[in-house]
Chain A
Amino acid sequence: MIEQSGTIASQAAPAGRTPVVLSLTDAELRRGERVLWSGLDLELRRGEFIAVLGPNGSGKTSLLHAILGQLPLSAGALLIDGRAPRRGSDLIGYIPQQRALAPHTPLRARDLVRLGVDGHRWGLPLGGKGLRRRIDDLLTEVGAHEYADMPLGLLSGGEQQRVRIAQALATDPALLLCDEPLLSLDPHHQHAIVDLLDRRRRAHGTAVLFVTHELNPVLPLVDRVLYLAGGRFRVGTPDEVMRSSVLSELYGGLVEVIRARGRYVIVGAPTPHHPDPAGGVQP
Chain B
Amino acid sequence: MSPDIWHQIFNYDDYGQLLALVANSIIAAAVLGVVGGLISTFVMMRDLAFAVHGIAELSFAGAAAALLLGVNVVAGSLAGSVLAAVVIGALGVRVRDRNSAIGVLMPFGLGLGVLFLSLYKGRAANKFGLLTGQIVAVDTPQTAWLIGVSVVVLLVLAVIWRPLTLASLDPDVAAARGVPVRALSPVFTLVLGLAVATTIQIVGALLVLALVVTPAAAATRVTASPRLIPLLSVLFAVTSVVGGILIALGSSIPISPYVTTIAFVIYLTCRAVGAVRTRNGWARRPSAAVAG
Residues of A within 8 A of B (CB): 68, 70, 86-89, 92, 94, 96-97, 102, 104-108, 111-112, 115-116, 118-125, 143, 146-147, 150-154, 156, 158-159, 162, 167-168, 188-189, 192, 280-283
Sorted nearest first, the 9 A-B pairs with minimum C-beta distance are: A88-B178, A151-B224, A119-B166, A158-B292, A96-B172, A120-B177, A94-B176, A87-B178, A283-B171
Given contacts A106-B224, A121-B163, 5 further A-B contacts (CB under 8 A): A108-B224, A119-B165, A120-B177, A125-B226, A154-B282
Q: Which residue of chain B is the closest to A189 with respect to CB atoms?
A: B292
Contact (Cβ within 8 A) B287 A152: no
Contact (Cβ within 8 A) A281 B181: yes
Main secondary structure, interface of A, reads loop
Residues on B with C-beta less than 8 A from A89 are: 178
The distance in angstroms between the C-alpha atoms of A154 and B165, with both chains bound, is 20
Residues of B within 8 A of A (CB): 41, 44-47, 93-94, 158-163, 165-179, 181-182, 185, 216, 220-221, 224-227, 229, 278, 282-283, 285-287, 290-292
**Max chain A Cβ within 10 angstroms of own Cβ: one of B47, B216, B286:** B286
The distance in angstroms between the C-alpha atoms of A118 and B178, with both chains bound, is 12
Task: Determine how close the nearest CB of chain B comes to the CB of A165; give it in whole angstroms.
Answer: 12
Contact (Cβ within 8 A) A107 B285: no
**Max chain B Cβ within 10 angstroms of own Cβ: one of A97, A123, A283:** A283
Could you say which of A68, A87, A119, A146 contacts B291, with CB atoms under 8 Å apart? A146
Contact (Cβ within 8 A) B229 A106: yes
Could you say which of A118, A154, A162, A280 contacts B172, with CB atoms under 8 Å apart? A280
Residues on B with C-beta less than 8 A from A108 are: 224-225
The distance in angstroms between the C-alpha atoms of A96 and B182, with both chains bound, is 18
The distance in angstroms between the C-alpha atoms of A146 and B287, with both chains bound, is 8
Could you say which of A116, A123, A158 contacts B173, with CB atoms under 8 Å apart? A116
Residues on B with C-beta less than 8 A from A102 are: 47
A282 and B94 contact, Cβ closer than 8 Å, known pairs A87-B178, A158-B292? yes
Residues on A with C-beta less than 8 A from B47 are: 102
Contact (Cβ within 8 A) A121 B175: no
Main secondary structure, interface of B, reads helix
> Can you offer 19 A-B residue contacts whose CB atoms are under 8 A?
A87-B176, A88-B178, A97-B172, A108-B225, A112-B170, A120-B174, A120-B179, A121-B162, A123-B162, A150-B283, A150-B285, A151-B282, A192-B292, A281-B174, A281-B181, A281-B182, A282-B171, A282-B185, A283-B181
Residues on B with C-beta less than 8 A from A124 are: 158, 161-162
A88 and B179 contact, Cβ closer than 8 Å, known pairs A154-B282, A282-B93? yes
Contact (Cβ within 8 A) B162 A106: no
Residues on B with C-beta less than 8 A from A97 are: 172
Residues on B with C-beta less than 8 A from A107 are: 169, 224, 226
Contact (Cβ within 8 A) A94 B224: no
Residues on A with C-beta less than 8 A from B175 are: 68, 70, 87, 281
Contact (Cβ within 8 A) A119 B224: no
Residues on B with C-beta less than 8 A from A192 are: 292
Task: Determine how close the nearest CB of chain A comes to the CB of B40; give it in whole angstroms.
Answer: 11
Q: Which residue of chain B is the closest to A119 with respect to CB atoms?
A: B166
Task: Determine how close the nearest CB of chain A comes to the CB of B248; give it in whole angstroms.
Answer: 31
Contact (Cβ within 8 A) A123 B159: yes
Contact (Cβ within 8 A) A119 B177: yes
The distance in angstroms between the C-alpha atoms of A162 and B291, with both chains bound, is 11
Task: Determine how close the nearest CB of chain B comes to the CB of A49; give it in whole angstroms.
Answer: 20
A143 and B162 contact, Cβ closer than 8 Å, known pairs A87-B178, A92-B176, A108-B225? no
Residues on A with C-beta less than 8 A from B170 are: 96, 112, 115
Task: Determine how close the nearest CB of chain B comes to the CB of A25; give it in whole angstroms.
Answer: 23
Contact (Cβ within 8 A) A106 B226: yes
Residues on A with C-beta less than 8 A from B41 are: 106
Residues on B with C-beta less than 8 A from A146 are: 285-287, 291
Contact (Cβ within 8 A) B162 A122: yes
Task: Determine how close the nearest CB of chain B comes to the CB of A20; give it in whole angstroms.
Answer: 21
The distance in angstroms between the C-alpha atoms of A119 and B164, with both chains bound, is 8
Task: Determine how close the nearest CB of chain B comes to the CB of A26; give it in whole angstroms.
Answer: 25
Q: Which residue of chain A is the closest to B48 with respect to CB atoms?
A: A283
Contact (Cβ within 8 A) B162 A283: no
**Max chain B Cβ within 10 angstroms of own Cβ: one of A119, A154, A192:** A119
Contact (Cβ within 8 A) A280 B291: no
Contact (Cβ within 8 A) A159 B178: no
Residues on B with C-beta less than 8 A from A283 are: 46, 167-168, 171, 181, 185
Task: Determine how close the nearest CB of chain B comes to the CB of A200; give it in whole angstroms.
Answer: 17
Residues on B with C-beta less than 8 A from A92 are: 176
Residues on A with C-beta less than 8 A from B229 are: 106
Contact (Cβ within 8 A) B225 A125: no
Residues on A with C-beta less than 8 A from B159 are: 122-123
Residues on B with C-beta less than 8 A from A122 are: 159-160, 162-163
Residues on B with C-beta less than 8 A from A156 are: 290, 292
Contact (Cβ within 8 A) A104 B221: yes
Task: Determine how close the nearest CB of chain A comes to the CB of B44; give it in whole angstroms.
Answer: 7
Residues on A with C-beta less than 8 A from B278 are: 154
Contact (Cβ within 8 A) A123 B161: yes
The distance in angstroms between the C-alpha atoms of A96 and B174, with both chains bound, is 10
Task: Determine how close the nearest CB of chain B comes to the CB of A178; give it in whole angstroms.
Answer: 12
